[in-house]
Amino acid sequence: MFNKYMYELGSRRSTIRELYEFGKRRAEVLGADSVFDFSIGNPSVPAPKKVRTTLVRLSLEQNSTAVHGYTSAQGLAEVRSKLAESLNQRFHTAIRPDNIYLTCGASSGLAITIKAMNEKSDEFVVLAPYFPEYEVYIKAAGGKVVSVPFVEGFLPDLGALEDAITPHTKAIIINSPNNPSGVVYSAAVLSSIASIVSRKADEFEHPIYVISDEPYRELVYDGVEVPFVMNYFNNCVICYSFSKSLSLPGERIGYVAVNPKADFGGELYSAIMGAGRALGYVCAPAIFQQVIGACCDVLPNLSSYSANRDALYSMLTEIGFECTLPSGAFYLFVKAPNGDSMEFSERAKEYGLLIVPGDDFMAKGYCRIAYCVDRDMIARSAVGFKELFQSYQGKR
């Protein structure tokens, strides 16, 4: 009766949602203290003070119809100017306000960009491990998903990437700092990808675009620098969100920026505007457009996430779990002791530990632990993780 794929998407409960429901039931029976929810990437540090004072100032402004009125579809010109200026200053780019299109977060930016690009079953290459919604946006736009496996350190298998690019490849999605692994692609990795992409584009005689999904760009630790992806690919579109950096995930505010050096960049920007319109986006939330204009240079409180990461990593490795210390985002990827991540996540639930199997991220054998949580919960979870680990030892 209705669209089959949409029905499937809406009726199939996500793993994270299942975990959440399980946690709620357990909390009712055993008390909230016996649930350790590491499943969701909801920032645990409050929005910066400047965000809140700006919101209050705007809410009180006399001219309410101007504050809450429609903006142009691209977003307020003065906000796009500020964003361009901020990016250019930080990353030595030459982005113009008319390269920027404000969106309802990075997810809408991705859905819009893919819809804008796909002509007829074009191929979009995704690099495991990756955010499962990429597949949804690609399929909904009528495109084809081509997945590339990872090697040691959750980095893309470059040989497989080269093979994955065909004459039908429209774009490659890059996500660094990465959800779910927390890995940051180094300049060397990006350069290697760039040389493959450029070689293939020459071979097939058409541009291959890079869609850089970077909501975690500002979330890195130990002074690690995140190379700015646009500086490695002329044919690049950034999808950014202020969800994580300004702790505003529910407010849906972000932007798409088309590299001013991109081939057919003007056409691409127009197609993005058209896709935004076609998917029902009239404009990004108006008051938050102004908020990000005022706060785009405010950096998040990283000390809390950094301390959480250190506490969690030490605790897990001391117990005996295998994991890589993440450089960015707020996720840690831990190896399932017997290699079966679905079973690992299931068994963890018995100890009240809610962790997401990597299977959804095309990374079987690992589970994602979101450490954007109260520090205290990490400490209290140690007993459970220890028992969980021991349960595997017993069975060996």
Q: Does 83 bind its own copies (CB under 8 A)?
A: no
Least gap, CB of 270 to its own copies (angstroms): 4
Nearer to its own copies, 227 or 274 (CB): 274
Pick one of 27, 40, 158, 307: the residue that binds its own copies (CB under 8 A): 40
- CA dist 361 and 333 (Å) reads 11
Q: Total binding residues for its own copies by CB under 8 A?
A: 81
Q: Does 208 bind its own copies (CB under 8 A)?
A: no
Pick one of 29, 92, 119, 395: the residue that binds its own copies (CB under 8 A): 119
Nearer to its own copies, 76 or 334 (CB): 76
Nearer to its own copies, 286 or 316 (CB): 286
Task: Single out the segment in contact with its own copies by CB under 8 A; choices: 30-38, 110-118, 293-301, 321-329.
Answer: 110-118
Q: Does 339 bind its own copies (CB under 8 A)?
A: no
**Identity of the residue numbered 4:** K
State how beta strands 356-357 and 144-148 pair. Answer: unpaired
Least gap, CB of 317 to its own copies (angstroms): 28
Q: Does 102 bind its own copies (CB under 8 A)?
A: no
Q: Does 3 bind its own copies (CB under 8 A)?
A: yes
- CA dist 327 and 153 (Å) reads 11
Report the site for its own copies in 223-242 (rule: CB under 8 A).
none
Q: Are 169 and 125 in contact (CB under 8 A)?
A: yes
Least gap, CB of 281 to its own copies (angstroms): 7
Nearer to its own copies, 46 or 339 (CB): 46
Nearer to its own copies, 240 or 269 (CB): 269
Q: Does 370 bind its own copies (CB under 8 A)?
A: no
Q: Does 99 bind its own copies (CB under 8 A)?
A: no
Q: Does 10 bind its own copies (CB under 8 A)?
A: yes
Q: Does 271 bind its own copies (CB under 8 A)?
A: yes
Residue in the structure block whose two tokens are 């969800």: 243
- CA dist 242 and 251 (Å) reads 9
Q: Does 267 bind its own copies (CB under 8 A)?
A: yes
Q: Does 179 bind its own copies (CB under 8 A)?
A: no
Binding mask 134-173 for its own copies (x = CB under 8 A): --xx-xx---------------------------------
Least gap, CB of 160 to its own copies (angstroms): 26
State how beta strands 209-213 and 169-174 pair. Answer: parallel
Q: Are 388 and 347 in contact (CB under 8 A)?
A: yes
Pick one of 145, 160, 201, 279: the residue that binds its own copies (CB under 8 A): 279
Task: Single out the segment in contact with its own copies by CB under 8 A; choices: 86-94, 148-156, 159-167, 265-273.
Answer: 265-273
φ/ψ of 364, rounded to 5, equals -60, 150
Task: Single out the segment in contact with its own copies by CB under 8 A; choices: 117-125, 158-166, 321-329, 384-392.
Answer: 117-125
Neighbours of 46 (CB within 10 A): 11
Report the site for its own copies in 41-70 (rule: CB under 8 A).
42-47, 52, 55-56, 59-60, 63-65, 67-70
Kindly give, in sequence order, each residue whose CB lies less than 8 Å from that of residue 330, ignoring residues fewer than 6 positions away: 41, 43, 182, 216, 219, 244, 305, 308, 309, 370, 371, 372
